[in-house]
Amino acid sequence: MASVNQTFVVVPRTGPSKAPATDRVHNHAEIYADFAPEAGKGQASRCAQCGVPFCQSACPLQNNIPDWLRLAAEGRAEEAWRLSEATSTMPEICGRICPQDRLCEGACTLEQSGWETVTIGSVERWLGDQAFENGWVDPIRPRAEKGQSVGIVGAGPAGLAAADRLRSAGYAVTVYDRHDRAGGLLTYGIPGFKLEKPVVGRRVDRLIDGGVEFRLGADVGGNLPFADVRAAHDAVLVATGVYQARRLTAPGCGSDGVVAALDYLIASNRKSFGDAVPAYDDGPLNAAGKKVVVIGGGDTAMDCLRTAIRQGATSVTCLYRRDRDNMPGSARETTNAEEEGVVFEWLAAPRAVLGGASGVTGVRAQRMALAAQSADGRWSVEPVPGGEFDVAADLVIEALGFEPEDMPTLFEAPDLALTDWRTIRTAGQTKATTLEGVFAAGDIVRGASLVVWAVRDGQDAASEIDAWLSSQRRAAA
């Protein structure tokens, strides 16, 4: 039969329907709907089936994107799904939260040639949601038990991805996490309007049904010594992520009313679960009725801005020291924030937090100008003389990124080597640490990064752990 692909010359790019800004700011529901079947097939059919698929090269997971787009266009949705899940343990999640404009869709040949990119992320999400709705998602049922166990520290995307692959291979897997729910930033960091929590929950439920044990409220290095985890398992994967917030050093930054982004987002997500959150109910982590300033230009900053709008802030302003073209966050999320009423002050850096110790009244900012471009393409900035200005604020949210905790001290493992950036050092391109039988993956190795990279690292770590444990079995035979 003739290919139904390469219809980009007659089928325009159309994304899934998006809730109007005037409606969506009143709730935390996801703002995008899934494609209707014919629309999904039509958008998948736009793929040009390139001989050299740059979309696949730009995907950290190396997903077989053209192949599953072709199957989707032909109406073979279940086959498309199976090809999608072959390289990704969380395609429906990555389809929701990946910055496709910087990855697969940005590299699409059609985008580069002026025909507009294929809506890869939306098709991926559509296939994943169909899979769960139609029962295509197979339970984890290992062919044989290996008789060895793996402990995973951290129930975020890297840890969950590794748990999926290791349990499927027949290992007993226990996941330890300090929070009371699994998912890490998927559960507590990313707002529901980007990723509704039942989407994460069904992935966790599949792992539990497959035999993965979750020990929640287990703070490894706190109430549970790391040595005990090592002693309980044949191998250990450290997938804790990086949670230590970078803080402002400007005058006044220690005042009440200046909060860390993750504290703010966790409080909001906990409220969505119906938890009691005194710091939200009493006001410190609640933007309702306040003038809010968010400092930073990454995806976490976008999450804070859009959350504040939904909480009923009277004004929401973003201060970012570079311009729009050089911000690290997703362009899609910036557009969504603008539609919802966020004001962006580009080329603006904080100089001081105004007010007193008991509360803030504003932020004094400095106009900046792009100065020089570095080898990695990023521009440095310099102050514009006489460019100071004030922005009124009752709540200032610092979204300046994250750094790793002191893992050797936390784990009482002085032989655990770190890099110059305080991330865990691994050997070459492997996931092996300087501790025998201990591996590491995700942000705790590469620094704060994307969920899709954490998934890739978790899957790679699982493969490496499998190979190492297999060698241990052979040596013992």
Summarize pLDDT for 433-464 with one digit per residue, the tens: 999 999 999 999 999 999 999 999 999 999 99
Indicate if the pLDDT at residue 132 is higher than 60: yes
The structure tokens listed for 191 are: 């707002």
The structural domains of the chain, with segments of one domain joined by +, span 21-134, 149-242+404-476, 245-398
Which architecture, in CATH terms, is 21-134?
Orthogonal Bundle (1.10)
Give me the torsion for CA of 228, 230, 236, 239, rounded to 10°.
Answer: 40
Residue 4: which pLDDT band, with cuts at 50, 70 and 90? confident
Q: Angle of helix 261-272 relative to helix 299-310, nearest 10 degrees? A: 50
Residue range 279-291: mean pLDDT, rounded: 96
Residue 347: which pLDDT band, with cuts at 50, 70 and 90? very high
Quote the pLDDT of residue 330. 87
Among all chains, which residue has been given the structure tokens 């409080």?
267
Summarize pLDDT for 226-261 with one digit per residue, the tens: 999 999 999 999 999 998 888 888 999 999 999 999
Cβ-Cβ contacts under 8 Å for 151 (sequence gap 6 or more): 173, 174, 175, 176, 229, 230, 232, 233, 235, 236, 237
The structure tokens listed for 70 are: 């072709």
- For residue 237, count CB atoms less than 10 angstroms from its CB and return exposed for 0-12, middle for 13-18, buried for 19 or more: buried
The structure tokens listed for 426 are: 């691994």
Q: How far is Cα 275 from Cα 191, in angstroms, rounded to an integer?
A: 15
Instruction: Judge: domain 149-242+404-476, CATH 3.50.50.60.
Output: yes
Residue 1: which pLDDT band, with cuts at 50, 70 and 90? very low
The mean predicted confidence, pLDDT, of the chain is 95
Residue range 367-380: mean pLDDT, rounded: 84
Q: How far is Cα 397 from Cα 353, in angstroms, rounded to an integer?
A: 11
Establish whether domains 21-134 and 149-242+404-476 are of one fold: no
The fold adopted by the segment(s) 245-398 is: FAD/NAD(P)-binding domain (3.50.50)
What does the DSSP 8-state code read for residue 448?
S
pTM above 0.85? Answer: yes
Neighbours of 78 (CB within 10 A): 14
Summarize pLDDT for 14-45 with one digit per residue, the tens: 999 999 999 999 999 999 999 999 999 999 99
